[in-house]
Amino acid sequence: MLQLRCSAQNYDWGRQADNSEVAKLARANGSSIDESKPFAELWMGAHPNCPSKVKSTGESLQACLDKHPQLLGSTVQKHFGNQLPFLFKVLSVAKALSIQSHPDKQLAQRLHREHPKLYADPNHKPEMALALSDFEALCGFASTAELQERLRRVPELAALVGAERVAAIMALGTAPAAGEEEEKQAKQALKAAFTALMTSDQAAVTAAVRSLVTRLSAAAASSSGEGLTEHEALALRLNQQFPDDVGLMSAFFLNLVRLPPGSAIYLAANEPHAYLSGELVELMAASDNVIRAGLTPKFKHADVLCESLTYRQGLPEVLIGSPAVPGITVYQPPFEEFEIHRLECDSSETGSDYGSANSSPSAVAASAAASDAFQDQPRMTLPASEGPRILLVQSGQVEAEVLGHLPAELETVPELERGAVLGRGSIVLIPAGVELALRRAEGLVGWIAAVNATCFRLQDARQTAAPAVAAGKAARRAAEEEVPAAPALAVAAL
Ligand SMILES: [Zn+2]
């Protein structure tokens, strides 16, 4: 394994160091912390905007991968080149992130070509956010019935959207769209309304926001007044963070989602969202492309955002994870680049062995031998994966050791460590094909970024398919459809 040094980003929406999991983990990982700055993101990966380094050599992770691409495994090399397919982060959110979306591959390529300073890479950026604390986010468009109700209740919003476009929303049916034509009509009305709002001139936005804030503040203060809705209370909160910003108006168009720790949402390309508060782990394709349209001092690209959104309505699917082997819970979104594993090794878990069907017979034999030697110690086996993984230890301590022999192609990588004591803040790259024994684990909780298992099944499907391109495409489609539905629970609309 390779121990990594990872750096934090001090964006202004982050939390003060003493209240930030990002700052605490970064310090435990070996960074010096400037207490005067807000701590927003800890980056674990090889993206050039904040690359992780190999702890033992100080070399960048990407330089190490370029020298030893076998760390990634053959499937990942074929599919993603010498790149780690994902970028792993921890986020500490004190105030709202920008209203944003992430481009699909085609749009990312165009934006990177036309605005290389704003869009640093040509990759798409599907992402997944997993709550470490109570977590709040705006995510996806609200239903037509909810939009109609909000446009009725909030005349300041309706004024910015414009009478004609409000009328088009009001004319929509609230039952699920009966056919393609009806769905197209709903998307058109939503796009026109949202675009009008997001591209309103700032003087009109300022006037509307101030009038809304005055009215809502009076209603909140008045004991006889009716209570504010969740979205109205949010609008007041957002105005304190970003006064006069169109983003607080756009929140009325979106779902407000609250997640308890241990649950996750995922976001495909071209879906609007904004994280509002909480601590989370985030995993995404290896990209830093963000199209922003509000709640930010950074450059707003509202016309690009409005043009590219899917205008899909409804609540996001919430993943609660499914047990894979004892001690490991898998959160699998429908993206081939990544999935998250939660690793938990309870000190009461002694004597059991977690070798799985993925392990080779020799590895299972080796782990059985290891079991005998450490009969009384809490331990588990982290089975080998066909792709690279990054493990972040959030709490507890563990002795990690490569189980059995290293795959032959890794014998030539001098930086690799065979064993290490890992504690809070340890971050390690586990190369493809490496199985780990975890011993003397006390209260271990870790998060693992892994390549989505369907990526490897996809590769199998490609290999068995006829070489013709059409057949390959069909196999890919079939494999994509095979992505198992992860357990989901409905989010209550707020
Ligand atoms: Zn995002």
Report the percent of the chain where pLDDT is more than 70: 85
Model confidence pLDDT, tens digit, residues 324-335: 888 899 999 999
130 has which bridge partners? 264, 281
User: pLDDT class for 179, splitting at 50, 70, 90?
Assistant: confident
Computed over its alpha carbons, how large is the radius of gyration of the chain?
A: 24
User: Across all residues in the chain, what is the average pLDDT?
Assistant: 87
Provide the pLDDT for residue 347: 57
pLDDT of residue 10: 96
Q: Is 164 exposed, middle or buried (0-12, 13-18, 19+ CB in 10 A)?
A: exposed
Report the CATH superfamily, name and number, of domain 138-319. Answer: Phosphomannose Isomerase, domain 2 (1.10.441.10)
Cβ atoms of 249 and 208 closer than 8 Å: yes
Structural contact between residues 90 and 130, judged by C-beta atoms closer than 8 angstroms: no
* Average pLDDT of the residues in 30-59: 95
Contact 423, 396 (CB under 8 A): yes
* Ligand 1 centroid distance, CA of 213 (Å): 27
Per-residue pLDDT tens digits for 349-404 = 444 444 333 444 444 444 444 444 444 455 788 999 999 999 999 999 999 999 98
* Domain locations in the chain as residue ranges: 60-83+321-494, 138-319
Answer whether residue 343 shows pLDDT above 60: yes
pLDDT tens figures, 140-149? 999 999 999 9
Question: Which residues have a Cβ under 8 Å from the Cβ of 66 and sit 6 or more positions away?
Answer: 82
What is the structure's pLDDT at 469?
40
pLDDT value at position 297? 85
Which residue is catalytic, options 15, 165, 292, 389?
292
Q: Read off the pLDDT of residues 124-170 as tens digits, 9 standing for 90 and up.
A: 999 999 999 999 999 999 999 999 999 999 999 999 999 999 999 99
**Ligand 1 centroid vs 351 CA: distance in angstroms?**
42
Q: Residue 468 pLDDT > 70, yes or no?
A: no
- CA 122 → CA 80, 102, 267, 280, 298, distances in Å? 13, 12, 18, 26, 20
Residues 68-122: pLDDT tens digits?
999 999 999 999 999 999 999 999 999 999 999 999 999 999 999 999 999 988 9
Q: Does domain 60-83+321-494 have CATH number 2.40.110.10?
A: no
Q: Is the pLDDT of residue 491 over 60?
A: no
pTM of the model: 0.85
Q: In 3D, which of 283, 276, 281, 262 has the Cα closest to residue 487?
A: 262
Q: What percent of the chain has pLDDT over 90?
A: 74
Expressed in angstroms and rounded, the spacing between residue 303 Cα and the centre of ligand 1 is 18
Q: What CA–CA distance (Å, rounded) separates 75 from 81?
A: 9
Tell me the residue length of the chain. 494
Establish whether 292 is a catalytic residue: yes
Instruction: Using the mean position of ligand 1's atoms as its centre, give its distance from the Cα of residue 400 in Å.
Output: 33
Rounded to the nearest angstrom, the distance between the alpha carbon of 334 and the centre of ligand 1 is 16
Q: What is the Å distance from ligand 1's center to 267 Cα?
A: 8
Structure tokens at 67: 């020298």
Mean pLDDT of 42-70: 96
In this structure, which amino acid lies at residue 361? P
Structure tokens given for 267: 């976001």
